[in-house]
């Protein structure tokens, strides 16, 4: 075992797999019934057929009573036919339950990801964790879902062993009637003990070899995950319509090739996996199979010797050889399960690392009242560092923003404007200081109610490939009139009238063949319409006009002033001319608000940053 590979005790493996099983069970309790019925039924039927076939052979080799033979053959056929039908039904039921359980397992992760704090989701470590879990699930099936299979395997093995032993007991009790002249009598308990020891040794060695081989696959999971992840990302870049132009113009397949090569070298015919298949994995599997074949040969020879000695007929030979093999495989799969439970631990650990992540963002219970006129939002000595970073992105920010007013945040790129909005919308909590709404720390409010107060258009807003109306209402279209009004207000009206399906038109080609492609500016208008539809008391535009030309931007801003009506509005823009009309302008610089006031007041300070920025931009527009 390599130094960095963690040794797992069986107790720990059992505990973790059990925890996984209970989690899936709670999500879909009914799956357990089909998973139990299937192994019981399969075992009962297979042993019944073995028993009946043995009786047919016995009758053929013995009395040859035609009536009895007829009865036995018909019974065997009937049992086989009926059981095949019932088995097919059970298998189908189990498969349906399987698919449903699979989705439930995926749902566990979807719900978890959706409930994570934004700060955690924004953290590269979380991305890596989620990606590793998804790759494991897709390419090895390891983790929660596999635990359900283990549960079924335990039952299947136990039934197999129980049924096999039941059909084998008479082998040990039957006595020879003919002297074969062998040194030790086949009836001797010594022989029985020797066979039992051989069974234990063979089954242990064979399973141990298989477990070793499986353990090697599991230990290489990281290499596989990286290889597949690189392939999953770079392998598909050429087909991604968002990236296709850049990939072609810059011949980016050269980068892709470099990363995909990692996968190829891992999986190619001379790569790591091919080598492993030859040695040691292939060798371990070969030894494992060799041992089980050797054991079957020894046991079968012993059964034949006892049959030769007249202890039982030919039919019983068939019964014993088949049932001892099944007992062998039953015990083998139990032992393998021991290894499998351990091999599943690394996958489960990653999954539980994600599922156990706690929400650290404070979630209060205070009901959100409408903003009081004399109050609003206040940042008090707010400083902020992004998680995992030592640098302050905001430092000592103090600002009061009265209800119903218009605030503009301006400043150079990277000065902290978007971060200021993210703190306001509680995507992150301040590292120091506090933000107040109606005079109360925003951490005390019910989180969802608080978020409902903001209609935001972020710089990197996201519009889905669903219907236009669904995008605006951020869900099913329940109020088409309002959807159309908001689109009109956001300046999308003319475009909307061009669409024959109106607000039912699909955006992009992801889900509707007749979907439309929209420009960056049009996309932004849809995002603005979505913010308006929310009808929230605060409306925030974070440079939403980046893809618009200056005229279109001026149009949106002047319109927005009307649309915003009595709402409180915050604008972030790199074009100062768009913010002239605001009641207050805050100038951000290197994480601080260095100036604050009306456009006229700020412009009168010739030494100020605003003055400098204004004149720098004015050169381009005058």
Q: What angle do CA 247, 251, 255 make, to 5 degrees?
A: 85
Contact with ligand ADP (CB under 6 A) among 53, 206, 292, 419: 419
Burial of 122 by CB count in 10 Å (0-12 exposed, 13-18 middle, 19+ buried)? middle
Shortest reach from residue 462's CB to ligand ADP, in Å: 16
Shortest reach from residue 574's CB to ligand ADP, in Å: 8
CB 453 within 8 Å of CB 531: no
Region of 36-44, 288-296, 355-363, 412-420 interacting with ligand ADP (CB under 6 A): 412-420
Contact with ligand ADP (CB under 6 A) among 173, 389, 478, 607: 389
386 binds ligand ADP per the rule CB under 6 A = yes
Q: Which is nearer to ligand ADP, 458 or 506 (CB)?
A: 458
Q: Which is nearer to ligand ADP, 413 or 622 (CB)?
A: 413
Region of 177-185, 415-423, 433-441, 442-450 interacting with ligand ADP (CB under 6 A): 415-423
Binders of ligand ADP in range 111-150 (CB under 6 A): 122
Contact with ligand ADP (CB under 6 A) among 142, 330, 416, 430: 416
413 binds ligand ADP per the rule CB under 6 A = yes
Interface with ligand ADP (CB under 6 A), residue total: 13
Region of 217-225, 314-322, 413-421, 522-530 interacting with ligand ADP (CB under 6 A): 413-421
Distance CA 283, CA 291 (A): 12
Residue span 79-118 as binding mask against ligand ADP, x where in contact by CB under 6 A, dash where not = ----------------------------------------
Q: Which is nearer to ligand ADP, 287 or 410 (CB)?
A: 410
430 binds ligand ADP per the rule CB under 6 A = no
Residue span 330-369 as binding mask against ligand ADP, x where in contact by CB under 6 A, dash where not = ----------------------------------------
Binders of ligand ADP in range 552-591 (CB under 6 A): 588
In terms of Cα–Cα distance, which of 217, 218, 2, 221 is closest to 132?
A: 221
Q: Which is nearer to ligand ADP, 20 or 416 (CB)?
A: 416
The upper half-sphere exposure of residue 406, i.e. CA atoms within 13 Å in the direction of its Cβ, equals 20
Binders of ligand ADP in range 474-493 (CB under 6 A): none
* Peptide bond just before 280 cis, omega within 30 deg: yes
Q: Which is nearer to ligand ADP, 62 or 414 (CB)?
A: 414
Q: What angle do CA 35, 38, 42 make, to 5 degrees?
A: 150
Contact with ligand ADP (CB under 6 A) among 415, 438, 473, 523: 415
43 binds ligand ADP per the rule CB under 6 A = no
Region of 316-324, 362-370, 408-416, 562-570 interacting with ligand ADP (CB under 6 A): 408-416
- What SS3 class is residue 279? coil
CB 316 within 8 Å of CB 324: no
Residues linked to residue 541 through DSSP beta bridges, in sequence order: 457, 571
417 binds ligand ADP per the rule CB under 6 A = yes
For residue 85, the Cα-to-chain-centroid distance in whole angstroms is 36
Burial of 517 by CB count in 10 Å (0-12 exposed, 13-18 middle, 19+ buried)? exposed
Token readout for 429 is 């909590």
- Dihedral sign (CA 198, 199, 203, 204): negative
User: What are phi and psi for residue 279, nearest 5 degrees?
Assistant: -150, 135
End-to-end CA distance of the chain: 73
In terms of Cα–Cα distance, which of 292, 286, 283 is closest to 202?
A: 292
Q: Which is nearer to ligand ADP, 450 or 588 (CB)?
A: 588
User: What are phi and psi for residue 206, nearest 5 degrees?
Assistant: -60, -45
Strand 432-437: give its sheet, edge to edge: 392-402, 376-385, 432-437, 440-441
Region of 13-21, 260-268, 350-358, 410-418 interacting with ligand ADP (CB under 6 A): 410-418
592 binds ligand ADP per the rule CB under 6 A = no
User: What are phi and psi for residue 62, nearest 5 degrees?
Assistant: -110, -110
Q: CA dihedral defined by 456, 460, 461, 462, rounded to 10 degrees?
A: -160
460 binds ligand ADP per the rule CB under 6 A = no
Q: Which is nearer to ligand ADP, 344 or 415 (CB)?
A: 415
Contact with ligand ADP (CB under 6 A) among 205, 221, 393, 397: 393
Shortest reach from residue 542's CB to ligand ADP, in Å: 7
Distance CA 12, CA 78 (A): 47
Burial of 566 by CB count in 10 Å (0-12 exposed, 13-18 middle, 19+ buried)? exposed
Contact with ligand ADP (CB under 6 A) among 17, 136, 418, 471: 418
Residues linked to residue 457 through DSSP beta bridges, in sequence order: 541
Shortest reach from residue 414's CB to ligand ADP, in Å: 4
> What is the binding site for ligand ADP (CB under 6 A)?
122, 386, 389, 393, 411, 413-419, 588
């Amino acid at each position: 075992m390599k130094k960095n590979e963690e040794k797992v005790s069986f107790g720990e493996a059992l505990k973790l797999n059990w925890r996984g099983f209970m989690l899936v069970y709670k999500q879909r309790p009914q799956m357990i019934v089909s998973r139990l019925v299937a192994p019981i039924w399969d075992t009962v039927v297979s042993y019944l057929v073995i028993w009946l076939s043995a009786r047919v052979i016995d009758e053929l080799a013995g009395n040859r009573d035609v009536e009895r033979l007829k009865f036995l053959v018909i019974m065997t056929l009937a049992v086989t036919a009926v059981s095949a039908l019932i088995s097919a039904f059970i298998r189908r039921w189990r498969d349906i339950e399987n698919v449903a359980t699979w989705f439930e397992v995926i749902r566990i992760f979807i719900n978890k990801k959706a409930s994570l704090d934004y700060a955690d989701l924004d953290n590269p470590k979380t991305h890596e964790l989620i990606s590793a879990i998804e790759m494991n699930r897709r390419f090895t099936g390891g983790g929660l879902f596999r635990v359900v299979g283990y549960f079924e395997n335990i039952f299947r093995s136990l039934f197999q062993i129980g049924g096999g032993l039941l059909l084998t007991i008479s082998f040990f009790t039957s006595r020879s009637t003919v002297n074969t002249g062998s040194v030790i009598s086949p009836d001797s308990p010594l022989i029985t003990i020797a066979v039992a020891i051989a069974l234990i040794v063979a089954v242990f060695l064979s399973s141990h070899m298989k477990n070793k081989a499986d353990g090697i696959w599991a230990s290489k999971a990281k290499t596989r995950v990286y290889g597949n992840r690189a392939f999953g990302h770079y392998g598909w870049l050429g087909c991604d319509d968002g990236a296709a132009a850049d990939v072609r113009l810059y011949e980016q397949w050269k980068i892709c090739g470099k990363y995909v090569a990692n996968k190829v070298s891992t999986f190619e015919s001379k790569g790591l996996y091919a080598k492993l298949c030859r040695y040691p994995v292939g060798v371990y599997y070969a030894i494992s199979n060799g041992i089980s074949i050797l054991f079957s040969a020894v046991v079968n020879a012993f059964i034949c010797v006892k049959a030769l000695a007249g202890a039982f007929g030919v039919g019983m030979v068939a019964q014993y050889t088949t049932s001892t093999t099944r007992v062998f495989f039953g015990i083998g799969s139990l032992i393998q399960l021991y290894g499998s439970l351990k091999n599943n631990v690394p996958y489960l650990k990653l999954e539980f690392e994600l599922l156990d992540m706690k929400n650290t963002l404070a979630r209060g219970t205070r009901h959100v009242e409408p903003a009081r006129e004399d109050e609003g939002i206040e940042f008090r000595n707010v400083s902020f560092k992004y998680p995992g970073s030592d640098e302050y992105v905001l430092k000592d920010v103090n600002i009061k923003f009265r209800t119903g007013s218009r605030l503009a945040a301006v400043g150079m790129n990277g000065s902290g404007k978007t971060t200021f909005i993210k703190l306001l919308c509680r995507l992150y909590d301040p590292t120091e200081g506090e933000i107040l709404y109606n005079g109360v720390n925003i951490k005390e409010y019910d989180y969802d109610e608080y978020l409902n107060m903001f209609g935001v258009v972020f710089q990197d807003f996201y519009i889905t490939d669903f219907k236009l109306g669904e995008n605006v209402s951020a869900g099913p279209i329940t109020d088409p009139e309002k959807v159309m009004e908001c689109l009109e207000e956001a300046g999308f009206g003319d475009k909307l009238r061009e669409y024959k399906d109106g607000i039912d038109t699909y955006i992009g080609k992801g889900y509707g063949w007749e979907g439309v492609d929209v420009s960056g500016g049009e996309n932004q208008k849809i995002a603005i319409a979505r913010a308006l539809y929310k009808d929230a008391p605060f409306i925030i535009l974070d440079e939403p006009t980046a893809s618009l030309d200056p005229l279109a931007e001026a149009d949106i801003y002047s319109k927005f002033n009307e649309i915003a009506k009595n709402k409180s509005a915050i604008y972030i823009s790199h074009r100062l001319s768009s913010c002239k009309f605001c009641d207050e302008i805050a100038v951000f610089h290197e994480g601080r608000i260095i100036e604050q006031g009306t456009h006229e007041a700020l412009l009168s300070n010739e030494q100020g940053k605003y003055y400098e920025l204004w004149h720098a931009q004015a050169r381009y527009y005058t």
